[in-house]
Structure 1
Amino acid sequence: MPHWVIVSLAATAFAVVSAWAVRLLLDVAVGWLRALLVSLVVFLVAWPVAEWSLTEADVVSDGRVVVDDGIAIAFLALTVGWIFVVVVVVMLTLEFLSPSRRMPNPLRVIRDAIRRRDRARRYAQILAIGSRHGLGFYESRRRGGEDELPRALVSAMNDAGVTFVKLGQVLSSREDVLPPRLIEAFSTLQMDSTPIPWDEARAAIQAQLHRPIEEVFERIDPVPLAAASVAQVHTARLAGGEEVVVKIQRPRARAQVTTDLDILERLAAEAERRTDWAKDYGALALASEFSRALREELDYRIEAANTDMLRAAIAASGTHLLRVPTVYGDYSTPQLLVQERVVGTPFSRLGDAALAPEDAARIADALLDAIVDQIAVRGVFHADLHPGNLILGEDGTVTLIDFGAVGVLEASMRRLLLPMLIAMANEDDVAVTDVALLMCGPPADGGDVAALQRDIGVILTRLRSARADENVFRLLLDVLRRNRMALPPSLLLVFRTLASLEGTLRKLVPGYDMVSRALEVAPRVALSLLSPRSAALTAQTWSALMLEQARRMPRRVESVTRSIEDGTFSVRLRAFEGGEERAWVDSIVGRVSSTIVGVTLVISGILLTVDDGGPRLTGDVPAFGFLGSVMGLGGLLLLLRALRGALRRR
């Protein structure tokens, strides 16, 4: 057989076995392709050196083996072993400098490529829309800048689609963040988005109904009553004569929202990575919460369930101010909602002279009382109280619409929220701090509780002489974030709802002091929760728990005394009890042991190699020298294996 064929077969076999052995030895995700190529290259480079060393050791002469077969096999194995060590060293170096990456899933690669294409296309569309509406820096300066900016932003958001209109809706209630001219401009986004053509809307409605429109509706107005961010609404009459509104989702809303939210979350993550203010305000968490809420808005089954839940909560409260429209579930689908028609004026369209001042103040007070009852007593509340979602009727009632976002506050958190409001009204910074710690847990990274209390005390002191436009809930959120407090999502949603409600109430009463009213209502609401029945049930529950604990106590005492008497009493420490902790200790011990044994073998191998004693395996190689080389090889492999920890951390 030709010499080159033998070398090729040997190189292939060595590359396959070495690649498998390297992955097993290093115990990391070394790429197969890299391992095969490195093994093959090292073997081909080392082969001439191996032939020369075997010739110098008098194992091979003139291309023939001149020693016993056993000795020849031992020398060949030792040579292959040292070549393998070179492969391991090269692989360690390459992996440390540039770690291997797993072979990506082809489907995931295709999906990611499609998303990148969609993001790039959407980026280009957004930039083109902004440029068309004069949002470029130099162009806005030339056109008058600040006077044109609000109008240009609104026009651009309308053209940009669902996500940006919804973002404008959220920002329109943040009077604590944005200037009035932007708030006023964003308020026009509540109900006034660009409508889709009737032919397109009709086709979407019929596709959701799975039947001709005429079988369900006696009539339907092709002119939309309102064009909202995610959907548009048409008035209609059912075949049974009921006056309804039909809310149909924009056909391309779901795909566009998915791409836009991906862009917003990436921008928020990049902002947190590059700026301190984004990290302090939790830009990524805010973007994630906005994304979750908007995705839920795209499923009208969730909105229908939220509507029923909030209607039950309002009925239980006994208030006559708030109403919730009826949903016709037989005709509603994930992208189509049919509900009772509400007649009235949205808060976003209330003019300065829409109501007498005393009537406006009365409705604002009653509305705030009802929302506080929803949050603190019922635990179910409308979480998107921007002015477009509240309709004022001619009889003075307020109808809530758009239930895509409904908050749920658990009972344990409600029991803490009211004491916090009462303590804030009493300017008790110690109590507010204690309640905040119970709600949020201790500050991260061992924060200073005294500093937290000082910050809260400053807020409460300012509260007595604060301007009406200062929102204590926003200030409290800022303090908690600044002190690295882990805010529960339900609590964060409550504070955001109250901040949004404040902007809405000021549509009724300019300069309305919601904070003072909320703190005034809190003690009365807390007293209403104190009932003999509730106290009796609580006492019964805790009495049963304490009685059960007392019944088990004698058995536990007997068990402890018996183990002490028998000498079997022991105390178990929880340190290193978990599987991860034990695995970490095992890895440290194994790494240290491998290092010690490896160093010992290498030193012993060097000492034996320089020793010329022992019987001769060949004319020039003593047995002790051969044994030392084997021991050095084994020790070096152990040391290289111990280095895999550094490779993993890399």
Structure 2
Amino acid sequence: MKNNIVMDGLRSVARMGQTAAVAAKAGIKYATEKPSNAKLMRETFESLGSTYIKLGQFIASTPSLFPREYVEEFQGCLDQTPTLPFSYVQQVLASEFAGRNLNEIFASIDEKSLASASIAQVHAAQLVSGENVVIKVQKPGVETILYTDLNVLHWAAKILEKAVPKVKFASLADIVDEIKTRMVREVDFIEEAQNLDDFVNYLNITQNKAAYAPKVYHQYSTRRVLTMERLYGVPLTDFDVVKKVSKDPSQVLITAMNTWFGSLMMCNSFHADLHAGNLMLMEDGRVGFIDFGIVGQLKPEVWTACIGFMDALQKTDYALMAQNMLNMGMTDTKIDTQVLAADLERLFSGVLLADPQELLSTNPADLNDIMMDMVGVGERHGIRFPRDFALLFKQMLYFDRFMRILAPYTDIYADQRLQMVQSMDPNVLLKH
């Protein structure tokens, strides 16, 4: 125990030194090359690794808190890192399953990783009992680096708040605390396993046979190792391969969206990172959901208000839009809905001139702009949106990208098969 404390202390000191060196390098680059502040910050964050990359992704998905130029710049914040040697994976497994013979758990483990990101690395394996699984192994010192970085950020935020009292986003320290809460949850694989169990239970209760999520092997999982059933399939962005498995690619997308929309109402949390790598079409035609490390939480009434807002937007009913905006946000002040409706009309009238029905089929960049403008209008009226509101919209943007590939000539949002608000009635969910 004492040695671990000493090692953590040494890692913290080394991390602070590394942070200072990268910051100094960024200062020199700013003085010599004069890049934009947003670009320099993104490049610096990527150089600093896991914590700062996650912070960059938080900035990209939280337009209600950060200036637009930073939100747009951090859209490209990368989360791929070099792979670690297989010997490290073996060390972690030996440490986490101390006292147990690994040969009695795993018949084989592929030395080459399937994926490597800032927090963990994934390897394919086979259990002694014969099941094919994937093992998600946490990278070295992730928690120490996380806490060191966030303590430095918290300290810097406090200084900045005192030095610049009129900073637009005055609650910087609170924002750092929010990031800390999310990231600490992401490095706890026991919590990720619970997220997966929750989703699997939801599929079972609703008798949804069209979607699937991997089984967790809890007896072979810890805070730093997660062992799950391995799913085989293709990403939804590979249209040619999807076409070979499914006669109707749009049906695949409808299944994925209906399943996800249902989880907003019926799960403790929703998958907040369903990009092409985390959503697949399995060989048997089912849609597979994987990697539940990043989740959001949303009250069902907030999602109902979001749907009401979008419906009112298509009908250009600005008074109803204003009311739903209040229902999905929070405010301490009395809002004049007529003034809010007028502001929304000014914002959206130009967007809707072409065809209101095309709004939700516009490109992701435009949707992101619309979301940021809407949040801006809300802020001016003292409306604070739920903290996971941006995660919700980010996922809608991911679905937009899938639509362009799988159903380019179909208005999915007008499709009668799509159920954006669902009840506990299992018949509502799409089945084969």
Question: Of 151, 164, 169, which residue of structure 2 is paired with 1:279?
Answer: 169
CA contact (8 A) 2:12 2:145 kept: no
Q: CA deviation at 1:204?
A: 1.2
Deviation at 1:243, TM superposition (A): 0.8
1:83 aligned residue: none
Q: Please say if 1:200 is aligned against 2:88.
A: yes
Change (3 A) 1:440 1:386: same
Q: Closer, same or farther in 2 for the Cα pair 1:299/1:133, shift >3 Å?
A: same
Matched, 1:455 2:353: no
Q: Would the aligned equivalents of 1:364 and 1:509 in 2 still touch at CA under 8 Å?
A: no
Given that 1:379 and 1:411 are in contact with CA atoms closer than 8 Å, whether structure 2 keeps it comes out as no
**Structure 1 residues 503, 417: closer, same or farther in 2, change over 3 A?**
closer
The equivalences for 1:334-373 within 5 A come to 334-345=223-234, 350=237, 363-373=252-262
Give, in angstroms, the shift of residue 140 of structure 1.
Answer: 4.5
| Alpha-carbon distance between aligned partners in 2 of 1:412 and 1:182, rounded to the nearest angstrom | 30
Higher relative contact order structure (alpha carbons within 8 Å, sequence separation ≥ 6): 2
Conserved 8 A contact 1:384-1:500: yes
Q: How far does residue 518 in structure 1 lie from its aligned partner after superposition?
A: 5.0
2: CA distance between counterparts of 1:340 and 1:314? 16
Q: Which of 373, 379, 392 pairs up with 1:497?
A: 392
How far apart are 1:237 and its partner, in Å?
0.8
Q: Which residue of 2 aligns with 1:480?
A: 378
CA-to-aligned-CA distance 1:28-61 (integer Å, 9 cap, x gap):
xxxxxxxxxxxxxxxxxxxxxxxxxxxxxxxxxx
Q: What aligned pairs does 1:209-608 form with structure 2 within 5 A after superposition? A: 209-210=97-98, 211-268=100-157, 274=164, 278-279=168-169, 283-345=172-234, 350=237, 363-376=252-265, 380-394=269-283, 397-444=286-333, 448-464=336-352, 465=354, 468=363, 469-471=365-367, 472-487=370-385, 489=386, 492-503=387-398, 505-506=400-401, 509=404, 517=412, 525-526=420-421, 529=423
TM-score normalized by structure 2? 0.74
* Secondary structure of 1:337 counterpart: strand
> Which whole-Å deviations, capped at 9, do the CAs of 1:418-450 have from their partners, x for residues lacking one?
433332332222122223334445454x56544
> What's the secondary structure of 2:135's corresponding residue?
strand
- The Cα of 1:244 is off from its aligned counterpart by 0.8
User: Is residue 369–residue 518 contact of structure 1 (8 Å, CA) maintained in 2?
Assistant: no
Distance, in Å, in 1 between the alignment partners of 2:424 and 2:132 is 43
Does the 8 Å CA contact 1:379/1:410 hold for their aligned counterparts? no
Q: Is 1:158–1:194's contact at 8 Å kept on the other side of the alignment?
A: no
Alignment of 1:73-152 (within 5 A): 122-129=15-22, 136-140=29-33
Shift of the alpha carbon at 1:390?
A: 2.8
- What is the distance in 2 between the residues matched to 1:409 and 1:240? 39
| C-alpha contact (below 8 Å) 1:221/1:236 kept by paired residues | yes
Q: Does the C-alpha gap of structure 1 residues 276 and 395 become closer, same or farther in structure 2, counting only changes over 3 Å?
A: farther
SS at match of 1:235: strand
Kindly provide the amino acid, as one letter, of the partner of residue 202 in structure 1.
Q
Query: Hey, what's the Cα distance between the residues in 1 that align with 2:319 and 2:384?
Result: 19
Give the Cα–Cα distance (whole angstroms) in 2 for the partners of residues 365 and 272 of structure 1. 46
Q: Counterpart of 1:338 in 2: which secondary structure? A: strand
TM-score (norm 1): 0.52
State how far apart, in whole Å, the 1-side matches of 2:241 and 2:74 are. Answer: 23
Note closer, same or farther for the CA distance 1:292–1:317 as it changes in structure 2 (3 Å cut).
Answer: same
The number of residue pairs the alignment matches comes to: 397
Q: Give, as a single letter, the amino acid of the residue that structure 2 aligns with 1:430.
A: A
**Cα distance, 1:133–1:326 mapped onto 2, change above 3 Å:** farther
Q: Give deviations 1:245-279, integer Å, cap 9, x for gaps.
A: 11111230111101112233444555566376742
Q: Which residue of 1 aligns with 2:428?
A: none
Going from structure 1 to structure 2, the CA distance change for 1:343 and 1:177 (only over 3 Å counts) comes to farther
Q: Give the 3 Å change call, closer, same or farther, for CA 244–447 of structure 1 in structure 2.
A: same
Taking only the aligned residue pairs, the percentage that are identical comes to 23
SS of alignment partner, residue 223 of structure 1: coil
Alignment root-mean-square deviation, CA: 4.3
- Residue 470 of structure 1: SS of its match in structure 2? helix
Tell me how far apart the structure 1 counterparts of residues 325 and 146 of structure 2 sit (CA, whole Å): 36
Deviation at 1:217, TM superposition (A): 0.6
CA contact under 8 A between 1:443 and 1:483: conserved in structure 2? no
> Residue type of the partner of 1:499?
K
Q: Report how far residue 340 of structure 1 moved.
A: 1.0
Q: Which sits farther off after the overlay, 223-232 or 414-423?
A: 414-423
Matching residue's letter, 2:18: Q
Aligned to 1:551: none
Letter in 2 for 1:128: A
Contact 2:274 2:398 in 1 (8 A): no
1:628-647 aligned at under 5 Å gives the runs none
**Is residue 56–residue 74 contact of structure 2 (8 Å, CA) maintained in 1?**
no
Q: 1:167 to 1:440 in 2, by over 3 A?
A: closer
Q: Cα–Cα, structure 1 residues 264 and 398, in superposed 2: closer, same or farther, change >3 Å? A: farther
Give, in whole Å, the separation in 2 of the partners of 1:172 and 1:388: 19
Instruction: Go from structure 1 to structure 2 and tell me whether the alpha carbon gap of 1:353 and 1:529 turns closer, same or farther (over 3 Å shift).
Output: closer
Task: Give the match's secondary structure for 2:126.
Answer: strand
How far did 1:483 drift?
A: 1.9
- Kindly indicate whether the alpha-carbon contact (under 8 Å) linking 1:173 and 1:504 is maintained by their aligned counterparts in 2: no
Q: Which has the higher helix share?
A: 1
SS in 2 for 1:486: coil
Q: Quickly say closer, same or farther: Cα 1:179–1:435, change in 2 above 3 A.
A: closer
Alpha-carbon contact 1:326-1:340 (below 8 Å) kept: yes
The SS at the match of 1:247 is strand
User: Is residue 162 of structure 1 aligned with residue 50 of structure 2?
Assistant: yes
Larger C-alpha radius of gyration, 1 or 2?
A: 1
Q: Which letter maps to 1:287?
A: V
| C-alpha separation in 2, matches of 1:447 and 1:321 | 44
CA contact (8 A) 2:232 2:282 kept: yes
Write the distance in 2 (CA, Å) between the matches of 1:450 and 1:125: 53
Q: 1:402 to 1:498 in 2, by over 3 A?
A: same
